[in-house]
Amino acid sequence: MSQLASEPSAQRDLPTYRDIRVEHAGPISWIVLARPDKANALSNAMLDEFSDALARLADAGGPVIGIRGEGRGFCAGYDVDQVGKPKAADPVADRERLARNVARYLAIWDHPKPVIAAVHGYCIAGATQLCVFCDLTIVAEDARIGEPAVPLGGGYIAPLWAPLVGPKRAKELAFLPGNAIDGRTAVEWGWANQAVPADRVQATVEGLAARMAKIPSDVLRIKKLSINRTMDAMGVRTAAAQVPEMDALLHLSPSVLQLRDWIGEVGLKAAIAEFRTPPEERT
Q: Which residues pair with 195 in a beta bridge?
A: 139
Amino acid in the structure at residue 245: E
Q: Which residues, 6 or more positions from 276, have their beta carbon under 8 angstroms from its beta carbon?
A: 149, 177, 178
CA 246/CA 69 separation, integer angstroms: 29
Task: For residue range 66-121, list pLDDT tens digits in order.
Answer: 999 999 999 999 987 766 565 556 888 888 988 999 999 999 999 999 999 999 99
Spatial contact of 133 and 102, defined as CB atoms under 8 Å apart:
no
Task: For residue range 175-234, list pLDDT tens digits in order.
Answer: 988 889 999 999 999 999 999 999 999 999 999 999 999 999 999 999 999 999 999 999
| 280 pLDDT higher than 60 | no
Task: For residue range 115-132, list pLDDT tens digits in order.
Answer: 999 999 999 999 999 999
Helix then strand count (H, E) for the chain reads 11, 9
Question: What's the average model confidence in pLDDT over 22-30?
Answer: 97
| 171 pLDDT higher than 70 | yes
Length of the chain in residues, anyone?
283
Question: What's the average model confidence in pLDDT over 160-186?
Answer: 93
Q: How many percent of the chain have pLDDT more than 90? A: 65
The pLDDT value given to residue 4 = 42
The pLDDT value given to residue 12 = 57
Of 218, 277, 259, 247, nearest to 7 (Cα)? 218
Backbone angles phi, psi at 225, to 5 degrees: -60, -40
Cα–chain-centroid distance for residue 267? 26
Of 133, 105, 138, nearest to 119 (Cα)? 138
Q: What is the pTM of this model?
A: 0.90
3-state secondary structure of 193: coil
Q: Which residues pair with 118 in a beta bridge?
A: 68, 138
Bridge pairing between strands 115-119 and 64-69: parallel
CA 283/CA 191 separation, integer angstroms: 36
The pLDDT value given to residue 253 = 83
**Stretch among 16-30, 181-195, 254-268 having the lowest mean pLDDT:** 254-268
Of 108, 103, 117, 135, nearest to 243 (Cα)? 103
Q: How many percent of the chain have pLDDT more than 70? A: 90
The secondary structure of residue 78, as a DSSP letter, is: B
Spatial contact of 53 and 29, defined as CB atoms under 8 Å apart:
no
Q: Which residues pair with 72 in a beta bridge?
A: none
| 282 pLDDT higher than 80 | no
